[in-house]
Structure 1
Amino acid sequence: MSYVSPPEFVRKMIDAGESKVFMSARDTVIRAYMAGAILALSAVFAVTITVQTGQALLGALLFPVGFCVLYLMGFDLLTGVFTLTPLALIDRRRGVRLRGVLRNWGLVFVGNFAGALTVAVIMAVIFTYAFTVDPNAIGQKIGHIGELRTIGYADHGAAGMLTLFLRGVLCNWMVSTGVVAALMSTSVSGKVIAMWMPILLFFAMGFEHSVVNMFLFPSGLMLGGHFTFGDYLMWNEIPTVVGNLVGGITFVGLPLYATHARTAPRRAAAPGVPAPAGPEPEPVPEARV
């Protein structure tokens, strides 16, 4: 069978987090760069479909193709490493330290941003014939997204900031669920189907993804969006990154680790009551220190 049980895929999550902490800077940046670029192209694709058809749901339905491609190619998004690498630290894997986790996050952020910015520049050139004409309908839509998701939040002050943060939390709850879902199967088709569902949900509901935004907002600035780079950082990217971190580790990484890697002992049956049928839970190996 291609299905992987929860205790098995949680061990894979911890192993993946450990391997990412010790990955070379070169490989980490290359994989992050390609992930940012592919996800940016997927965002362009989704916006294009939405503009051409007038159906936002159809754009959301097709957006996950980029996520599936980058995952199957072994590339890394900031949202994914936010969930996986802390587990290696919590599990006390040999040599894993907080500075190693932070190093991984920093390198992945730089790589994702560089990849997304590369696509932003290329697409801005395409949408404007090398900045010789006004942006086409797709470019105008991207510029409008940038305004709505910066100035739109700023107009509401603290309430807007809280809304932005919570959209970041919910985003990585779904995105990291997609990352984990891919570990639940050993077949390509099973991985794709499992990933597709939560990624569709996050995009369709307009949650805030830090890496997608690394494309949308620089691109929007180049395409005439009425907001500043400071607006982008203060009223989107920074709160979104924090929300993505909280969402991934709080609602995906820690619950799975707590119940499947550190399963509590079974309750004893009351006197005179037969024990429930079925095999005992698989013992969990001790953490490596």
Structure 2
Amino acid sequence: MSYIKPTDFVQTMIDAGEAKTKTSTGDLLLRGTMAGIILSLAVVVAITAIVQTGVGLVGALVFPVGFCILSLMGFDLVTGAFGLAPLAKFDNRPGVSWASIFRCWGLIGLGNLIGSLIVAYLVAISLTMNFSIDPNAVAQKFIAVSTARTVGFENLGMDGWITCFIRAIFCNLMVCLGVIGGMTSRSVAGKVAAMWLPIFIFFALVFEHTVVNMFLFPLGMILGADFGIATWLNFNLIPTILGNIVGGVVFATIPLYLTHRKNTAPVNVASEVKAKNEAFSEEVLNAK
């Protein structure tokens, strides 16, 4: 069977978290950059589908294609690292510290931002014929969406900030379940199906995703949206990052760890042999 049981894939989650904290700087940056590029293009596909059909659900149906591609290629989103990397620390893996976790988050996040900004600028060129014509219908949609989710939150003050934070929690619950979904099957088809479902939910419900927002809002500003970097950071990116951390760790990975990890503790063969030998020696002595 291609399905992998929770007691097995939770072990994979911990191993993956440990591996991410010990990956080289160059690899984390490169994998993060490529993930940012692919996910940004998936956003363009989704927004284009929404504009062409007038149905938001269609965009949600096609958006997961980018997540599936980058996951199968072994690229990294910081949102997935938010959930997986701390597991290695909770499991007391040697060499894993909070400093190594923050390093992992920072480098992957920087790579995601670099990739997102590259695609944002190039897509802006594509949508405006190298800035020679007015933004087309797809570009106008990007402007409207980015404005609503920055200025719209800013106009509500703290209520808007909290709303963004809560949406980000729900987002990374789904995104981390998507990451984990790829670990629940041995077949490509099974992995894609398991990843597609939670990513569809997050996009359909318009939750806030750190890497998507690294692309969406810079693109909006390049195309002429009426808000600045400070508004984007204070009323979207910062609460989104914080909410994604909470959603990934508290709601997605920790519950799986707590309920299934106790059944997956690795066997220390040397200790087990030593204990059996000691028990045998004691039996021999007692017999004498």
> Does 2:155 align with 1:174?
no
> Does 2:199 align with 1:199?
yes
**CA displacement at 1:153 relative to structure 2:** 0.6
Q: Which residue is 1:235 aligned to?
A: 235
Distance 1:37 1:256 in 2: 30
Q: Which residue is 1:284 aligned to?
A: 265
Q: Which residue is 1:277 aligned to?
A: none
* TM-score, structure 1 as length reference: 0.91
Distance 1:156 1:142 in 2: 21
**CA displacement at 1:285 relative to structure 2:** 3.0
Query: Residue by residue, what CA displacement relative to the aligned partner does 1:3-36 show, whole Å, maximum 9, x if unpaired?
Result: 1010100000000001110100000100000000
**CA displacement at 1:137 relative to structure 2:** 0.7
Q: Which residue is 2:114 aligned to?
A: 114
Q: What amino acid sits opposite 1:22 in the alignment?
A: K
* TM-score, structure 2 as length reference: 0.91
RMSD over aligned Cα atoms: 1.0
Q: Which residue is 1:189 aligned to?
A: 189
Distance 2:2 2:158 in 1: 47
**Higher mean displacement: 66-75 or 125-134:** 125-134
Name structure 2 gaps, 5 residues minimum: 269-288
Q: What amino acid sits opposite 2:21 in the alignment?
A: V
**CA displacement at 1:284 relative to structure 2:** 2.8
Equivalent residues in 2 for 1:67-216, closer than 5 Å:
67-216=67-216
Check the 8 A contact 2:7/2:264 in 1, yes or no: no
- Equivalent position SS for 2:135: coil
Distance 2:53 2:147 in 1: 22
Taking every aligned residue pair, what percent have the same amino acid on both sides?
51
**CA displacement at 1:107 relative to structure 2:** 0.2
Distance 2:212 2:264 in 1: 40
Q: How many pairs align?
A: 268
Residues 11 and 243 (structure 1), Cα distance of their counterparts in 2 relative to 1, 3 Å cut = same
Distance 2:9 2:147 in 1: 40
| Greater C-alpha Rg | 2
Q: Comparing both structures, which one devotes a greater share of its residues to helix? A: 2
Distance 2:229 2:142 in 1: 15
Query: Residue by residue, what CA displacement relative to the aligned partner does 1:197-224 show, whole Å, maximum 9, x if unpaired?
Result: 0000000000000100011000000111
Q: Which residue is 1:31 aligned to?
A: 31
Distance 1:55 1:94 in 2: 49
Superposed structure 1 runs of 4+ greater than 3 Å apart:
none
Distance 1:36 1:248 in 2: 18
Q: Which residue is 1:219 aligned to?
A: 219
Equivalent residues in 2 for 1:42-81, closer than 5 Å:
42-81=42-81
Distance 2:21 2:267 in 1: 21
**CA displacement at 1:283 relative to structure 2:** 6.0
Check the 8 A contact 2:77/2:211 in 1, yes or no: yes
Distance 1:237 1:162 in 2: 12
Q: What amino acid sits opposite 2:205 in the alignment?
A: M
Distance 2:259 2:57 in 1: 35
Q: What amino acid sits opposite 1:35 in the alignment?
A: A
